[in-house]
Structure 1
């Protein structure tokens, strides 16, 4: 059964023969292994081009920013899975990544698409950034949707990771249309929403990465790659200092049954 388009049977990522492995047009053993750092290799794999010094700097920065934040849902899921199935390290990593969605971890992609849409709208309509930002917030509120990239349950006075990434962008003269839109949204919130909200790390990451030239369609990959490193660290600790069943027990104690009693 034919499903979808099947008229472009090509890939530009990798090929190999008996003597050589070629990745994005480069000899893996001759040009990459031992000569290129992993962040640059990641950028090459995604974009087909080696990053500039600025692109590599900010890719490193955002990967470090989003990798670890304690016992967040992805980590809890992974550690509890490993406790139940210690033979499935890969399954525990997968369990931690499967919840990368619009609320936690994957929200950078949602925010990035929102900012990119507003930037395109401002360019097409010739409207001011502030006007487009306020209209964008109003549209989300009419649909009772959250404003992506703003607010944090713990860092209510300001997400230090977001603040640092944006300060680094300013220091490097990087701030472009997506960071400008992010800041316009932040400024418009009190008037449209009725209160201020801090920019969180999942707001800063897409604005910075889009302005530095990372592709919109691969934004979620930043969070997935970074959190995979963190999950491996947590699972190594779980193998030596297990807390997975402690987490499970704490959940059972925290939730009370409110269903019907037996007849």
Structure 2
């Protein structure tokens, strides 16, 4: 087992590296020999247990929160950094395509899976049958249901089906195109070009996975029951359908359209993160490509989306996604589709991994808080 470095342990525990060594000297943490014979490593499970034991009462999660920690090989995050299969996310966003990242998350190899063979006509028919004004949530869920009716659909079929669920508003490049190429004319009225499609692809890569977010936990719970991949994706989509997960970029986009200044915007949207307290590493690369495709008249406004007051926390990826939507002239609300399609890559990786775990392991218990019946 490779284990964590001392710096990674310090980041996870929120302490200085010297404190990590103090934990070792007190026997609270065990050193493992490094593969190079020199640098010590540390057991991730032991570090997580120590994190739970040493979390100060004043910084514990809000009352009623459920703390779930599971082992995974899919991704790892800490304050200011994200890794997919131990590959730095910033490097992946700069050099890899979304399909390659899907392959990395699903198989551990940075290689694009074969493209889907299904045409998507069944998804188109089902979506067209929805009532007028059907929400993005409904369209994506319908696509997942349809794919679940196919015989052994591939993970890439599921991703492309979600893209197909959105009606094109520009020239459709056809089913053989990449996810980003197919998605662009469905989310933006601007003609596709290399820079614009690449900006969208960077967003897909950066949003593909982020550890055990609420929707991913829902996916793993579904997978633990033996649910098929399409049903697991439905569980994730159900979590995103709520207003509190995957939709913050909508508010940022709306604020940009209204031209709100930081001091005028009201409740903060797109700022702060429970893990990335010193800054979300996904924000800067996504804002850079969003600014790069913005028209000159809105470029400065796009670039300043993360401008904050003195007391604001750092901007997060939602701020940058809102900026991309603004620069791409998307309709308000479309960022939810970008998020869900991207995150399906991570959901499917977690669903596959969960299949190797003991089934039905997410069996929580409740503590009754209601009134007691009068014994008399």
Q: TM-score range by the shorter chain?
A: 0.5 to 0.7
Structure 1 residue matching 2:306: 3-state secondary structure: helix
Tell me, yes or no, if structure 1 residue 196 matches structure 2 residue 319. Answer: no
Match of 1:134 among 240, 258, 263: 263
1:32 matched residue in structure 2: 174
Aligned length: 206
Q: 1:49 to 1:40 in 2, by over 3 A?
A: farther
Tell me, yes or no, if structure 1 residue 111 matches structure 2 residue 252. Answer: yes
Q: What's the CA shift string for 1:177-206, capped at 9, x where partnerless?
A: 54245134x2xx22xxxx231101111111
Checking the alignment, whether the CA contact within 8 Å between 1:178 and 1:211 is kept in structure 2 is no
TM-score (norm 2): 0.48
Distance 2:359 2:233 in 1: 14
Structure 2 residue matching 1:70: 3-state secondary structure: coil
Measure how far apart 1:80 and its partner are.
0.6
Distance 1:134 1:25 in 2: 37
Q: Looking at secondary structure, tell me which structure has more helix per residue.
A: 1
Distance 1:82 1:135 in 2: 44
Match of 1:95 among 226, 230, 235: 235
Tell me, yes or no, if structure 1 residue 161 matches structure 2 residue 282. Answer: yes
1:63 matched residue in structure 2: 204
Distance 2:170 2:249 in 1: 30
Q: Relative CO higher for 1 or 2, CA cutoff 8 Å, sep ≥ 6?
A: 1
Checking the alignment, whether the CA contact within 8 Å between 1:177 and 1:211 is kept in structure 2 is no
Tell me, yes or no, if structure 1 residue 176 matches structure 2 residue 299. Answer: yes
Structure 2 residue matching 1:68: 3-state secondary structure: coil
Q: 1:207 to 1:32 in 2, by over 3 A?
A: same
Q: What's the CA shift string for 1:91-119, capped at 9, x where partnerless?
A: 22111111224322222222222222236
Distance 2:221 2:189 in 1: 37
Q: 1:4 to 1:178 in 2, by over 3 A?
A: same
Distance 1:198 1:118 in 2: 20
Structure 2 residues without counterparts, runs of 5 or longer: 1-130, 134-167
Structure 1 residues without counterparts, runs of 5 or longer: 6-22, 120-131, 141-145
Structure 2 residue matching 1:134: 3-state secondary structure: helix
Distance 2:326 2:359 in 1: 37
2:219 matched residue in structure 1: 78
Measure how far apart 1:81 and its partner are.
1.6
Measure how far apart 1:260 and its partner are.
4.4
Q: 1:206 to 1:178 in 2, by over 3 A?
A: farther
Q: What's the CA shift string for 1:187-226, capped at 9, x where partnerless?
A: xx22xxxx23110111111112321333334221111111
Q: 1:232 to 1:37 in 2, by over 3 A?
A: same
Distance 1:52 1:182 in 2: 24
Checking the alignment, whether the CA contact within 8 Å between 1:151 and 1:200 is kept in structure 2 is yes
TM-score (norm 1): 0.66
Checking the alignment, whether the CA contact within 8 Å between 2:287 and 2:303 is kept in structure 1 is no
Measure how far apart 1:151 and its partner are.
0.6
Q: 1:57 to 1:83 in 2, by over 3 A?
A: same
Which moves more between the two structures, 110-119 or 223-232?
110-119
1:124 matched residue in structure 2: none
2:49 matched residue in structure 1: none
1:242 matched residue in structure 2: 357
Measure how far apart 1:161 and its partner are.
0.5
Alpha-carbon RMSD across the aligned residues, in angstroms, is 3.1
1:10 matched residue in structure 2: none
